[in-house]
Amino acid sequence: MPELIIVTPEKQPGVATIQLNRPKELNALNLQLMGELRDALVELDANTNVRCIVIHGNQRAFAAGADIKQMADKTAIDMLMIDQFSTWDRIRKTRKPIIAAVSGFALGGGCELAMTCDMIIASESAQFGQPEIKIGVMPGAGGTQRLTRAIGKAKAMEMVLTGKFISAVEAERYGLVNRVVADEIYLDEAMKLAATIATMSPVAVMLAKESVNRTYETFLDEGLHFERKNFYLTFASEDQKEGMAAFVEKRAPVFTGK
Ligand code: CAA
């Protein structure tokens, strides 16, 4: 039984939900949670009663990123050997459509997880960001690739290089999310969208998802690989140790460029 997610295979006819459930840690995506998420998606993909999947967090956080405390002491080689992104690769191969219902923080790996899904419904209080730069690293789960494709180079570059967050309204304006709705109904809205998709031919839906993704997937593979190597390389720097230690110790980091 998963401990850090809640899976409901038939929340509505044809629609399964997965709730990320580490509320105290703002749903920080540690290795266990991501492993559970991968296993759940593999199972739901094989469950013929399920036609569409909704992933959500809670009102305060979709997910505030990869778990910094779990990564803080790691070396570049540790990161390479742990190979945490193989889990993400499997998630990306889910054949059924996945909708991210996002409220609150979707930061770092949280923003990347939302972008790995096929569509995003955001609540008015959702905030998106790639703040890795503030802790001496960079996005490693597809942020540089997917954000740039979604919102264009200028906006993506600013977010990745400054770590600034954007509001749900900005995210909609830039084309990152499908739509923004009131906090009270963001999950219902995602469920409605999922219900519509669940009435379509599951075969046609699967093939159509695959085809839309194919528009950039070959190139995406290369980009993800390139990003991943550079992310690991940041763990060879003193700045990564300083940035993550500063987060854990709740102080401002002092970066030296080493
Ligand atoms: N990893 C581990 N713990 C986290 C976390 C994270 N990404 N984000 C939040 N938490 C923890 C906090 O440490 C805190 O725990 P304690 O109560 O034990 O101190 C708890 O969640 C609540 O967080 P805050 O007290 O910080 O809440 P806040 O409202 O003051 O701030 C926030 C919210 C702005 C989201 C802030 O928590 C924050 O900046 N989080 C980190 C965001 C981030 O840098 N994400 C990128 C991670 S790296 C990554 O994702 C790499 C990749 O590409 C795969």
**234, part of any domain:** no
Domain of residue 36, residue span: 5-186+197-202
pLDDT digits (tens, 9 = 90+) for 234-248: 999 999 999 999 999
**247, part of any domain:** no
Decide: 243 in ligand 1 pocket, CB within 6 A: no
pLDDT at 216 over 90: no
When mean pLDDT is compared across 124-133, 182-191, 221-230, the lowest value belongs to 221-230
Q: Residue 176 C-alpha to ligand 1 middle, in angstroms? A: 22
Decide: 136 in ligand 1 pocket, CB within 6 A: no
Question: How confident is the model at residue 215, as a pLDDT?
Answer: 87
Whether 249 sits among the annotated catalytic residues: the reply is no
Q: Residue 121 C-alpha to ligand 1 middle, in angstroms? A: 22
Whether 132 sits among the annotated catalytic residues: the reply is yes
**In percent, how much of the chain has pLDDT > 70?**
100
Decide: 197 in ligand 1 pocket, CB within 6 A: no
pTM confidence score: 0.96
Structural domains of the chain, count = 1
**18, part of any domain:** yes
pLDDT digits (tens, 9 = 90+) for 65-82: 999 999 999 999 999 999
Domain harbouring 165, CATH code: 3.90.226.10
What does each C-alpha distance from 35 to 71, 135, 241 come to in angstroms?
16, 24, 25
- One-character DSSP codes across the chain: --SSEEEEEEEETTEEEEEE--GGGTT-B-HHHHHHHHHHHHHHHH-TT--EEEEE--SSEEE--B-HHHHTT--HHHHHHH-THHHHHHHHT--S-EEEEE-SEEETHHHHHHHHSSEEEEETT-EEE-GGGGGT----SSHHHHHHHHH-HHHHHHHHHH---EEHHHHHHHTSSSEEE-GGGHHHHHHHHHHHHHTS-HHHHHHHHHHHHHTTHHHHHHHHHHHHHHHHHHTTSHHHHHHHHHHHTTS-------
Whether 61 sits among the annotated catalytic residues: the reply is no
The residue whose CA has the least distance to atom 38 of ligand 1 is 64
Average pLDDT of the chain to the nearest whole number: 97
CA–CA dist 14, 5 (Å, integer): 20
**160, part of any domain:** yes
| Residue predicted with more confidence, 220 or 111 | 111
Q: Residue 23 C-alpha to ligand 1 middle, in angstroms? A: 11
Q: Residue 107 C-alpha to ligand 1 middle, in angstroms? A: 9
**79, part of any domain:** yes
Q: Which position among 112, 114, 141, 168 bears the catalytic label?
A: 112
**26, part of any domain:** yes
When mean pLDDT is compared across 26-30, 43-47, 203-207, 214-218, the lowest value belongs to 214-218
Whether 112 sits among the annotated catalytic residues: the reply is yes
Q: Which position among 66, 72, 106, 141 bears the catalytic label?
A: 66
**169, part of any domain:** yes
